[in-house]
Amino acid sequence: MKNKLLFAETADALRDNGMIYVVVAVLLVIFAGIVFYLIRMDRKISKIEDQLKKS
């Protein structure tokens, strides 16, 4: 009884039509893009730091 109250229509409807996975995929791609960008920036900065140390 309590469970029925807690997990009523909305949560199931979203998963029933299956489309929520699309949103998850989209967000994962966006996040992967941001992380990729951050890693590139991180590496670039490391490179400049090394160059500065040598000079």
Report in angstroms how near the CB of residue 27 gets to another protein at its nearest. 5
Contact by Cβ (8 Å): 14, 20: yes
In the range 13-32, which residues lie near another protein by CB under 8 A? Answer: 14-15, 20-21, 23-24, 27-28, 31
The DSSP letter of residue 55 is -
**Angle, vertex CA 21, rays to CA 16 and CA 25, nearest 5:** 175
Q: Does 8 engage in binding with another protein (CB under 8 A)?
A: yes
Q: Does 6 engage in binding with another protein (CB under 8 A)?
A: yes
Report in angstroms how near the CB of residue 17 gets to another protein at its nearest. 13
The residue type at 24:
V
